[in-house]
């Protein structure tokens, strides 16, 4: 049975905040939680949730994860707290540090999350920013490990926007030495800083490929992954982006070009018939709902390593 292990860094703002050993440990711990092989007692521990954007999976899985650990959560809805009135981040962070044991934040600017973490004496978790979604990547690689048992020779092809979800997959993929191919239209590349950091981690330069033809990118791939083309906050670009991403839909024809045992992932929520067809989401290759369930187990494991 695995023993609790405290993460080296106080905060989890980026996939880069974990070492390879720590990612592997969290995935193993998550599997143990999933099999009900573990019980931790975090009675009296309180997780605060600050969500500036909507959420179903992240919010509820954090609430259930904390409850399974024996602790509680407080929903610090920005519209009903003074956060929405514009109270400075540095004041909110210092005050909430005196009540809560850990805070998960979903917001727009990654720099606001970093500013919060600078002033918070308690651990801060990135529950999604415009730059990264590292909790999602933990659940994604847990799902991949369950399917393929280890990460050796796994090829993950992400088809879509070079967005927050793609960034965390790239960085977590680099930590785990998984081959990651990003297939995106030319104007929608992942952030160059993320690519640079991933290349510093990868021992082999060929393991990260940025491509523009989904048909080439899926050849021999074991995991096909997509996300919405327009993320939260980009709704005003939707019409234009839908045109730019024409040809980047994961449909049955594209799936046929991947490895015969390939699985399909999507972080959800999905726009069916845009980035992915209804038939592919509902196909026997889809692990999308297992992946959503794994958010709970991965975050329970993450929280267990933060106190």
Q: Which residues are known to be catalytic?
A: 106, 133, 136, 227, 267, 295
* One of 57, 68, 181, 197 touching ligand CP (CB under 6 A): 57
* One of 17, 132, 227, 275 touching ligand NVA (CB under 6 A): 227
107 part of the interface to ligand CP, by CB under 6 A: no
Report, in Å, the least distance between residue 230 CB and ligand NVA: 8
Cα–Cα distance between 82 and 79 in angstroms, integer?
Answer: 8
Helix axes 288-304, 20-34, angle to 10 degrees: 110
Compare residues 74 and 232 and give the one whose CB is closer to ligand NVA: 232
* One of 83, 267, 301, 305 touching ligand CP (CB under 6 A): 267
> Residue 103: beta bridge partners?
48, 124
Stretch touching ligand CP by CB under 6 A, among 54-62, 70-78, 91-99, 144-152: 54-62
Report, in Å, the least distance between residue 128 CB and ligand NVA: 6
Stretch touching ligand CP by CB under 6 A, among 20-28, 176-184, 195-203, 264-272: 264-272
Locate all alpha helices (DSSP H) within the chain, ordered by sequence: 20-34, 57-68, 89-96, 110-119, 134-148, 164-175, 192-201, 214-217, 238-244, 252-256, 278-281, 288-304
Which residues from 158-217 bind ligand NVA, rule CB under 6 A?
163-165
Cα–Cα distance between 258 and 297 in angstroms, integer?
Answer: 28
> Residue 226: beta bridge partners?
159, 266
129 part of the interface to ligand NVA, by CB under 6 A: no
Stretch touching ligand CP by CB under 6 A, among 40-48, 51-59, 81-89, 186-194: 51-59
Q: Which letter, b or e, does each residue of 103-132 get, where b requires 16 or more Cβ atoms within 10 Å of its Cβ?
A: bbbbbeebeebbebbebbebbbbbbbbbbb
* One of 107, 120, 231, 291 touching ligand NVA (CB under 6 A): 231
Report, in Å, the least distance between residue 261 CB and ligand NVA: 26
77 part of the interface to ligand CP, by CB under 6 A: no
296 part of the interface to ligand CP, by CB under 6 A: no
Looking at residue 230, the DSSP 8-state letter turns out to be S
Q: How many residues does the chain have?
A: 307
For binding to ligand NVA (CB under 6 A), which residues are involved?
Answer: 128, 163-165, 227-228, 231-232, 267
């Amino acid at each position: 049975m695995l023993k609790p292990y405290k993460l080296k860094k106080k905060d989890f703002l980026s996939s880069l905040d974990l070492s390879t050993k720590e990612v592997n440990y969290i995935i193993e711990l998550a599997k143990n939680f999933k099999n009900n092989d573990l019980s931790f007692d975090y009675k009296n521990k309180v997780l605060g949730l600050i969500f500036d954007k909507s959420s179903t999976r992240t919010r509820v899985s954090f609430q259930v994860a904390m409850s399974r650990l024996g602790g509680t959560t407080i929903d610090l809805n920005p519209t009903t707290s003074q956060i929405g009135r514009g109270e400075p981040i540095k004041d909110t962070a210092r005050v909430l540090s005196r009540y809560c044991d850990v805070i998960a934040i979903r917001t727009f600017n990654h720099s606001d999350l970093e500013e919060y973490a600078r002033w918070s004496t308690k651990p801060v978790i990135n529950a999604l920013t415009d730059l990264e979604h590292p909790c999602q990547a933990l659940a994604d690689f847990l799902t991949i490990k369950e399917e393929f048992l280890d990460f050796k020779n796994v090829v993950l092809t992400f088809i879509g926007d070079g967005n927050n979800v793609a960034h965390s997959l790239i960085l977590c993929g680099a930590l785990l030495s998984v081959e990651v191919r990003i297939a995106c239209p030319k104007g929608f590349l992942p952030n160059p800083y993320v690519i640079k950091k991933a290349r510093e981690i990868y021992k082999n330069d060929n393991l990260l490929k940025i491509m523009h033809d989904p048909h080439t990118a899926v050849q021999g791939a074991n995991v096909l992954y997509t996300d919405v083309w327009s993320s939260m906050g980009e709704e005003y670009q939707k019409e234009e982006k839908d045109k730019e991403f024409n040809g980047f839909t994961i449909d049955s024809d594209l799936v046929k070009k991947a490895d015969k045992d390939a699985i399909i992932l999507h972080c959800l929520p999905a726009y069916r018939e845009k980035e992915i067809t209804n038939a592919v989401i509902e196909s026997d290759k889809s692990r999308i709902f297992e992946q959503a369930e794994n958010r709970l187990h991965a975050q329970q494991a993450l929280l267990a390593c933060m106190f």
